[in-house]
Structure 1
């Protein structure tokens, strides 16, 4: 065999071997890409995303789109060729697997966590919108979760309303941890609660639950990072009663990042006129009960997805501005927001044509 032919054959075989290795060798990475974007003012899956009854609503137009990110599943093992392709692709992003699924989190665990965050974001969006409209909302502190195998398991239950700890009234979720950690590990702490089933019955009958129980739980020592402290194995949260019904119908979406856009959609439907003036506005951001907008992940994917669907303006959490501005899609204006009030002010400027007044994101 001529030397030139042998060299070419060897090179070809080497290339084939490298390609095979690239396909077969898994790498510890996952991929993010732009996901669907949904108009909170419109329909999805054949029904309105926002459904409000018991209160007058008003016609809307334009778009207030929430945005999403697609990610590879927890058990998907990317190979080297896919990772390289993802690194080179402009609209995709390859990140370490542990960034999306820390501590070996399974697909089921991640889905459950995202569902819980999505549910909480809906509640906070309702509260934030109604507070901005000065509509009273009743709220109380509840047991949000109970850790399996903890001292509280079997004694406290998710949904129990926490009225007091050691006789001291509780008004905020943070009060619970402060009162528990006043104890030393091994000491008893007394929770005064309205059991979840009694609270649910009272809400159904449109009355206030008055039956309380004192539950004694012996504290244990924490085993996480930081100094040792007393714990009982619960997390506290907030539940609400709204003066009318607000339903958010959107399946197959998780995480807390749609909170801002849900709140704006609710506000728009409950007020005369159009928030957007018919303009295509998209955005993202968590929101708390007080209307504070928080950062989210995958901002670069969300701006691409929004622009591809036709968005002209993108409401961007202030803490995500630098990352978003580093690679802004052509034709998309990034608007910096820190609160729902900021977002409402920006929308007013947009519909009135005062776009030069918009607080824009800038590169760091």
Structure 2
């Protein structure tokens, strides 16, 4: 009997580290997050009963195929076993948590910033598409700084017609009109307020970030000059990288023919109102998500091409784009059976 008890005690002593490791592995979190393929959405399709890109006020053309935006999934709060499982999986990568959620920034602030970036991508997509389609826009003042040089002369809601003699058709025109002017320069501003046109003079102040340059102290808001209204119906998505695919969806819906040739195209990339395509993060995971969803062509921001070539899935054609024009031209070339700019 004593021999049996000794064996049991020996076994328990031997298993104790295993039990401790199991408990620690399931309870102790690690300072890493797992990044992997996230959901992908067809910007030409529907979600939750409505169009992902809803355009009202102008004729809309029928579309077919896919123009999918892609996302990266972030898995947080990992324990040791979770982290090991994601590492073994191969579709995920582990990165320090601080790279995604800076320790000095509350989690809700990070989420709020991501949502703001996503809203900006929607606004930029609308403007980039309207500019490409030569659709007229107007520039109104979204706000006037209370302590800025224009606070006595301009009001929120004023439509800007010209600044310093230069016609205003886009928000960038406002920046260009005062670029190079010295603080203290008086510039005439032609505007429309309450249906009537008038001209006011504004003495430029010094920019807070560069005292040698003048500024108006206003926030221009560029909108369509007509009844068109766009709504982008995706919730719980953050970041700026949907801009390019949203823009292409708007163009496809507002013009005849299929940009994608009726095929499955996916992609990513930021965009600015002038149509410049910018790089994004996590492209290797976005390509996996696209390929698993059925994409055969993936639009890659030019600055992401090197990384994309190192990780792209088999069977996925990588098309290099740096502007909205090159993206549209590339899709039309592929539809016509012609070569398109490629990564590498």
Note if contact 2:319-2:341 (Cα within 8 Å) is conserved in structure 1. yes
TM-score, length basis structure 1: 0.73
Gaps in structure 2 of 5+ consecutive residues: none
Q: 1:7 to 1:338 in 2, by over 3 A?
A: farther
Shift of residue 57 of structure 1?
Answer: 1.8
Give the corresponding residue for 2:221: 239
Where does structure 1 lack aligned partners over 5 or more consecutive residues? 184-188, 223-227
1:287-320 Cα deviation digits (max 9, x unpaired): 1111110011111111111111111111111111
Equivalent residue number for residue 338 of structure 1: 322
Instruction: List per-residue Cα deviations over 1:100-159 (Å, max 9, x = no partner).
Output: 123522232122222222222112111111221222222356459x9xxx978xx89x97
- Within 1, Cα distance between the matches of 2:181 and 2:104? 30
Distance 1:275 1:252 in 2: 27
Instruction: Please list the CA deviations of residues 248-294 of structure 1 after superposition, one character each: whole Å capped at 9, or x if unmatched.
Output: 22222222111111111111111111111111001111111111100
2 CA distance for matches of 1:39 and 1:303? 15
Q: Do the aligned partners of residues 216 and 50 (structure 1) sit closer, same or farther apart at CA in structure 2, a change above 3 Å counting?
A: same
Match of 2:28 in 1: 25
Matched, 1:297 2:314: no
Alpha carbons of 1:246 and 1:12: their partners in 2 closer, same or farther (altered >3 Å)? same
Q: Return the alpha-carbon distance in structure 2 between the equivalents of residues 235 and 85 of structure 1.
A: 53
Q: 2 CA distance for matches of 1:311 and 1:271? A: 23
Q: For 2:49 and 2:63, locate their aligned partners in 1 and report how far apart those are by CA, in whole Å.
A: 18
What does residue range 34-45 of structure 1 map to in structure 2 within 5 Å? Answer: 34-45=37-48
Deviation at 1:15, TM superposition (A): 3.1
**Partner SS state of residue 68, structure 1:** strand
- Whether 1:264 aligns to 2:267 is no
User: Larger Cα Rg: Structure 1 or Structure 2?
Assistant: 2
Q: Does residue 62 of the first structure (1) align with residue 65 of the second (2)? A: yes
Do residues 118 (structure 1) and 102 (structure 2) align? no
Query: Offset of 1:86 from its aligned partner?
Result: 2.4
Aligned residue in 2 for 1:316: 300
Task: Provide the residue aligned with 1:225 in structure 2.
Answer: none
User: Is this contact kept in 2: 1:143–1:161, CA < 8 A?
Assistant: no
Does the 8 A contact of 1:293 with 1:337 survive in 2?
yes
